[in-house]
Amino acid sequence: MIETQQLVGTWQLESWSIGFADRDEISNPFGEDPRGLLLYSDDGWMSASICRRERPRLPENESPRKMPDSVKAAAYGSYFHYAGRYRVIKGDVVHYVTQSLNPNFPGTEQLRHAELDGQTLVLSGKDEVRGVTRYHTLVWHRAPQTSPAEP
């Protein structure tokens, strides 16, 4: 069973796949080669961000607040983020969401089953959308340590 101290650090996303209870189909919501960072601090905070590797860029020299909603939706629809407190309970990790790009996430608890194999962390969970149960699997690898001067 995973323990809190094993999670502490930075993780880089390898993949995010979704299976469906009602059909034999696998979805990759941010493509086959997404980018992502998952941070777990030793004082109980976490932050997760995921995006498509190739994202549409916003027009330069223009404030995003003044751009058409369709332009912003195309750019922001390729990115996902939430953050908050976390706790490990019997091999599962619970994320207590306080901030999110999705306005429906704050105040929710995101339950993830955690499996650790060396430097690979697999988080899995499920949700229901329009009456269909979806099964999420996210594969993360521990990020290499860098010095503060390195990018």
CATH class of 4-142: mainly beta
The per-residue pLDDT for 149 is 67
Strands (E), the chain: 9-20, 23-27, 35-40, 45-51, 79-89, 92-100, 109-117, 120-129, 132-142
d(CA 148, CA 151): 8
The per-residue pLDDT for 151 is 66
* Residue 112 · residue 125 · CB < 8 Å: yes
Each of the 151 residues of the chain gets a pLDDT tens digit; together they read 899 999 999 999 999 999 999 999 999 999 999 999 999 999 999 999 999 999 878 888 888 888 999 888 888 899 999 999 999 999 999 999 999 999 999 999 999 999 999 999 999 999 999 999 999 999 999 999 877 766 6
What are the backbone angles phi and psi of residue 55, rounded to the nearest 5°? -115, 145
d(CA 116, CA 8): 12
- Residues ≥6 apart with Cβ < 8 Å to 43: none
d(CA 88, CA 77): 30
Q: How many CB atoms lie within 10 A of CB 146?
A: 9
Nearest 5°: the CA angle 144, 17, 19 is 155
How far is residue 106 CA from its own chain's centroid?
A: 14
Per the confidence metrics, is the pTM higher than 0.95? no
Per-domain residue ranges of the chain: 4-142
